[in-house]
């Protein structure tokens, strides 16, 4: 609205047959219109930036790294290359699974929803090597990719219909259907049940 009014006033001034005032006054008026127009454009730009704020980008829930020098120990974090950064939308785009189970760390049956670990590995085109699960506090567990493809691990991001906060073992918790088979009630599986999971590292 401001800019059309400025343009109309400037056009009317330029079309005036009889000069307004002496040449110095005319120059002053033109200078005034020029400064006023620039100021108006600046004000409109500022107002527009408040009226249409940029949408905040959703932070990633899971970062996936590729580490190609796995024979070199200890692992060097700077040698890992970030290949995927998945937010909730990215996780939901992958195959989904839901199951109900008891766990050693909760009371009563829990309903978990998320991405099957084997589906994640297939999406990454992995069939061998090792996968390092890294929690928010840098706790790490290694597991065999070949074995994980034979199991029903779940990268759960919801428990009982709610997304999991860090306090509730989120953002991601690798869980298994512990009630289904005794194979999922071993110390190895319990150790792999990493909560507050936020990184995966592929060792080739």
CATH of the domain at 197: 3.90.420.10
Mark whether 144 and 45 lie in a shared domain. Answer: no
Contact assessment for residue 193 and residue 174, using Cβ atoms and an 8 Å cutoff: yes
113 within domain boundaries: yes
Q: What is the pLDDT of residues 156-173, one digit of tens each?
A: 999 999 999 999 999 999
Task: Answer yes or no: is pLDDT of 108 > 70.
Answer: yes
- Cα angle 154, 117, 186 (rounded to 5 degrees) comes to 65
- State the pLDDT at residue 56: 55
Mark whether 46 and 86 lie in a shared domain. Answer: no
* Predicted model pTM: 0.71
DSSP string, the chain: -HHHHHHHHHHHHHH-SS--S-HHHHHHHHHHHHHHHHHHHHHHHHHHHHHSPPPPPPPPSEEEEEES-TTSSS--GGG-EEEEEE-HHHHHTS--EEEEE--TTSSS-EEEEEEEHHHHHHHTT--SSEEEEEETT--EEEEEHHHHTTS--EEEEEETTEEPPTTTT-SBEEE--TTT-GGGSSHHHHHH--SSEEEEEEE-
- State the pLDDT at residue 5: 47
Maximum Cα interatomic distance, the chain, rounded to a whole number of Å? 99
Mark whether 42 and 20 lie in a shared domain. Answer: yes
Read off the pLDDT band of 54 (50, 70, 90): very low
Mark whether 121 and 176 lie in a shared domain. Answer: yes
- State the pLDDT at residue 68: 76
99: tokens are: 């199951």
Mark whether 103 and 188 lie in a shared domain. Answer: yes
Read off the pLDDT band of 47 (50, 70, 90): low
Mark whether 71 and 47 lie in a shared domain. Answer: no
Q: What is the pLDDT of residues 182-204, one digit of tens each?
A: 999 999 999 999 999 999 999 98
57 within domain boundaries: no
The contacts of residue 80 (CB under 8 Å, 6+ apart) are 65, 66, 67, 201
Mark whether 137 and 193 lie in a shared domain. Answer: yes
Q: Give the chain's domain count.
A: 2
Mark whether 44 and 88 lie in a shared domain. Answer: no
Range of the domain at 113: 62-203
C-alpha 184/C-alpha 100 separation (Å) is 14
Give just the sign of the alpha carbon dihedral 202, 195, 144, 141.
positive
56 within domain boundaries: no
Mark whether 151 and 188 lie in a shared domain. Answer: yes
Task: Answer yes or no: is pLDDT of 94 > 90.
Answer: yes
Read off the pLDDT band of 2 (50, 70, 90): very low
Mark whether 9 and 90 lie in a shared domain. Answer: no
Q: What is the pLDDT of residues 60-89, one digit of tens each?
A: 999 999 997 666 656 666 778 999 999 999
Mark whether 73 and 172 lie in a shared domain. Answer: yes
């Amino acid at each position: 609205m401001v800019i059309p009014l400025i343009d109309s006033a400037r056009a009317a001034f330029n079309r005036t047959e009889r000069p307004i005032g002496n040449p110095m006054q005319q120059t002053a008026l033109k200078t005034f219109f020029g400064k006023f127009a620039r100021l108006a454009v600046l004000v409109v730009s500022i107002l527009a930036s408040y009226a249409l704020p940029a949408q905040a980008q959703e932070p990633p829930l899971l970062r996936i790294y590729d580490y190609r020098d796995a024979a070199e120990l200890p692992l060097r974090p700077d040698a890992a290359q970030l290949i995927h950064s998945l937010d909730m939308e990215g996780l939901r785009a992958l195959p989904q699974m839901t199951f109900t189970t008891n766990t050693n760390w909760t009371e009563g049956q829990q309903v978990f929803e998320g991405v099957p670990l084997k589906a994640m590995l297939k999406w990454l085109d992995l069939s061998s090597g090792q996968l390092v699960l890294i929690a928010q506090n840098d706790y790490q567990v290694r597991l065999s990719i070949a074995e994980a493809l034979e199991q029903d691990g779940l990268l759960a991001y919801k428990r009982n219909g709610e997304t999991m906060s860090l306090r509730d073992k989120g953002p991601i918790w690798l869980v298994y259907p512990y009630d289904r088979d005794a194979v999922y009630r071993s110390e190895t599986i319990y150790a792999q049940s990493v909560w507050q999971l936020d990184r995966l590292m592929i060792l080739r």
